[in-house]
Amino acid sequence: MASVDHNSDDSGSGRTAGRRRDATATRDAILHSAVVSFTRAGYDGVGVREIAQGAGVTAMLVNRYFGSKEQLFAEAVDVSFAPRTVVTGDAGTLSRDIALSLAARTAPESDHLNPFLLMLRSASNPRAAEIMRAATERHVGQDLRELLPGADAAERAELILALITGVWMMRRVIGTAALADADPGSLTRRIEAMLRVLVESAGNAEDRADI
Amino acid sequence: MASVDHNSDDSGSGRTAGRRRDATATRDAILHSAVVSFTRAGYDGVGVREIAQGAGVTAMLVNRYFGSKEQLFAEAVDVSFAPRTVVTGDAGTLSRDIALSLAARTAPESDHLNPFLLMLRSASNPRAAEIMRAATERHVGQDLRELLPGADAAERAELILALITGVWMMRRVIGTAALADADPGSLTRRIEAMLRVLVESAGNAEDRADI
DNA sequence: GTCTATATAATGATAGAC
DNA sequence: GTCTATCATTATATAGAC
């Protein structure tokens, strides 16, 4: 969101008491509501009426400003994927940084608005999947790739994304017991060890084949 | 499928020319069609009419035999999750067996009917997610857990499932480029190395923290 | 700039005939 | 045991008033 101007608070639950007739504010409110709704229920699990209600407007304005639900989704994915959620910048501490952040954010009590949740809950729709494929390679995939030293950076970066995605899936979307109740320290150490296999395996994959 | 009897071939594309009025055959045909459809499009992505058409019957019979779409889904999940897809039985070769099987089945040309695909594409629906959580812990989760030596077997088993799920997600459902085009040998070795961290980390997770 | 009202299509589930 | 016909609901998207 950000920018533009305004006095009233629109970012929370719409703009019930806010000033009316402001195109950019209405557009931002719809987009923010879309990110929240798509993350919670996925592309097919939420209707434009619900998104509009979350922004304090009627469903008609969603298509007015974004053309279609699919185009709104594409913009919402871009907003959700834009901030680098786990990558902190240092290749040396990358494995630990990702593991710590992942264990904390997938904890049952956390309700962080996360791009991986959006991805998992929208993956069943083929068009949504294609939109997310493009966004993934454009945002976090590229960031990770450039951070990894050695050969096969793209393959290793996407395996990192696969592990992160899988942990989000089993721990938070499916919610299996052992992961949901796992000790944060133990979980962090195990994820970190798995990530190190990818981060440190410069050049030849066989270097790590006989650990 | 299996069992019962019959001469006509019902398993393929319904029973257009098959003998009519056989309750168990019709039920099996619907169930098989449901597994195929739910795996391809997910719980919300397919309607009961489509499932019925795949079995060569009308939509009404789906509710007649299974009560509701949700109950049909629960039985389809059980059928899909029942055969142990990756676990071969030997703890010593477990990492390599899973890695080989996973790399082969997630290859772009493969169109194997897989429980992880069913899971990923149905995860957006909360009721479907709960059904799959129960089935996961009942089937493959338990099999894996009993195969792992040492402490924290349940947590390590579910992390194995998380890695498998994530690879299915990024390579086949989202379809990112580097994983889709990855060399099978390189991919297998990297997945195997990550799995060994979990399979061999008996007792203390810190054993593997400084590879 | 935003609304009400509606067009059109699809959904899961059910009633009752044969 | 299986069908046709239909109910009630919901979905995205659009037309036209103010």
pLDDT tens for chain A, 211 residues: list them.
333 333 333 344 445 444 456 889 999 999 999 999 999 999 999 999 999 999 999 999 999 999 999 999 999 999 999 987 555 667 789 999 999 999 999 999 888 899 999 999 999 999 999 999 999 999 988 889 989 999 999 999 999 999 999 999 999 999 999 999 999 999 999 999 999 999 997 655 444 444 4
CA distance A141 to chain B (A): 9
Asked whether the beta carbons of residue A123 and residue B120 sit closer than 8 angstroms, the reply is yes
What pLDDT does A110 receive? Answer: 86
Cβ-Cβ pairs closer than 8 A, A with B, add up to 195
* CA nearest to B170 within chain A: A162
Q: pTM of the full predicted structure?
A: 0.90
Say which nucleotide is closest to residue A25, CA to C1' distance: C1
Residue A99: predicted pLDDT: 97
Q: Chain-centre distance of CA B15, in angstroms?
A: 25
pLDDT category of residue B1 using cuts at 50, 70 and 90: very low
Q: Considering only CA atoms, name the residue closest to the C1' of nucleotide C13.
A: B63
Q: pLDDT tens digits, residue range B69-102?
A: 999 999 999 999 998 755 566 778 999 999 999 9
Question: A2, A78, A3: which is closest to A34 by C-alpha?
Answer: A78
Is the shortest CB-to-strand distance from A69 to strand D under 7 Å?
A: yes
Token pair for A111: 């309700």
pLDDT value at residue A140? 84
B119 C-beta neighbours (distance < 10 Å), count: 29
State residue A9's pLDDT score: 38
Indicate the residue of B132, B156, B169 with minimum beta-carbon distance to A166: B169
What percentage of chain B exceeds 90 in pLDDT? Answer: 72
So what's the architecture of B23-67 in CATH? Orthogonal Bundle (1.10)
Model confidence at B161: pLDDT above 50: yes
Residue B161 neighbours by CB under 8 Å, 6+ apart: A166, A170, A176, B136, B140, B141, B144
Nearest residue to C1, CA vs C1'?
Answer: A21
Q: Are B150 and B202 in contact (CB under 8 A)?
A: yes
Q: What is the location of CATH 1.10.10.60 in chain B? A: 23-67
pLDDT in tens, B47-59: 999 999 999 999 9
Cβ-proximal residues to B117 (8 Å cutoff; 6+ apart), any chain: B39, B40, B168, B172, B173
Q: What CATH number matches the domain at A23-75, 1.10.10.60, 3.40.50.300, 1.10.760.10, 2.60.40.420?
A: 1.10.10.60
C-beta separation of B111 from A155 below 8 A:
no
